[in-house]
């Protein structure tokens, strides 16, 4: 199954919990009761199937999961740091014009005139809207806000996103403050 299935990560095992083999899981799912509705999950990188025996909420976005066959702290410890995954066909259906991050990552981004802007390599979640991080053909990092004024079309079949950037967004003379750039800090002194 692991060779033919596409996977979606819905959580990460943070640590063992207690002495009976439960694990603390940080949920990455926006779907309420996502884990309660599952009979089993798969743990990356080998995608071994684990049957869920119990789920209960913990602090914040944390959950406590109990798997069949994991009955002590030592066994639970071996699962620390593993991604909790499900096959993509088990993902909830999204409303129109909504996408999962794994659908967006890797899309080629083009202007409306088909000029290449870059490929989406990361997604930053911010308070107002997501920001798509692109690697341009020249290797530069380009940031595009995920707003309807900029994103005009997403074609998942062709793996392309069309954008109409607002003035100043892609201009060569636009300056992006890079907190890692030491030369700007030296100029200020």
- Residues 119-146 have pLDDT tens digits of 999 988 888 888 999 999 999 999 999 9
Question: Residue 45: is the preceding peptide bond cis (ω within 30°)?
Answer: yes
Domain that holds residue 58: 7-90
The answer to the question of residue 146 being in a domain is yes
- Residues 164-176 have pLDDT tens digits of 998 888 875 444 4
Q: How many domains does the chain have?
A: 2
User: 152: domain CATH number?
Assistant: 2.30.30.240
Predicted model pTM: 0.61
Rounded to 5 degrees, φ, ψ at 56 are: -150, 150
DSSP-derived secondary structure letter, 77? H
Residue 160 and residue 108 share a domain = yes
Q: Measuring CA to CA, how many Å separate 163 from each of 4, 61, 66, 112? A: 33, 34, 45, 6
- Exposed / middle / buried, residue 120 (Cβ in 10 Å: 0-12, 13-18, 19+): buried
């Amino acid at each position: 199954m692991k060779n033919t299935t596409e996977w979606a990560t819905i959580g990460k095992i943070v640590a063992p919990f207690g002495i009976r083999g439960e694990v603390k899981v940080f949920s990455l799912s926006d779907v309420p009761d996502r884990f309660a509705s599952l009979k089993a999950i798969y743990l990356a990188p080998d995608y071994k199937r684990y049957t869920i025996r119990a789920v209960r909420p913990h602090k914040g976005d944390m959950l406590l999961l109990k798997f069949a066959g994991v009955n002590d702290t030592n066994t639970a410890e071996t699962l620390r740091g593993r991604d909790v995954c499900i096959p993509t066909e088990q993902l909830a259906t999204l409303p129109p014009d909504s996408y999962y991050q794994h659908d967006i990552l890797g899309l080629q981004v083009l202007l409306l005139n088909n000029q290449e802007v870059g490929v989406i390599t990361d997604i930053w979640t911010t308070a107002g809207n997501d920001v798509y991080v692109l690697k341009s053909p020249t290797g530069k990092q380009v940031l595009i806000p995920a707003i309807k004024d900029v994103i005009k079309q997403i074609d998942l079949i062709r793996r392309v996103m069309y954008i109409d950037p607002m003035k100043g967004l892609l201009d060569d003379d636009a300056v992006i403050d890079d907190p890692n750039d030491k030369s700007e800090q030296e100029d200020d002194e």
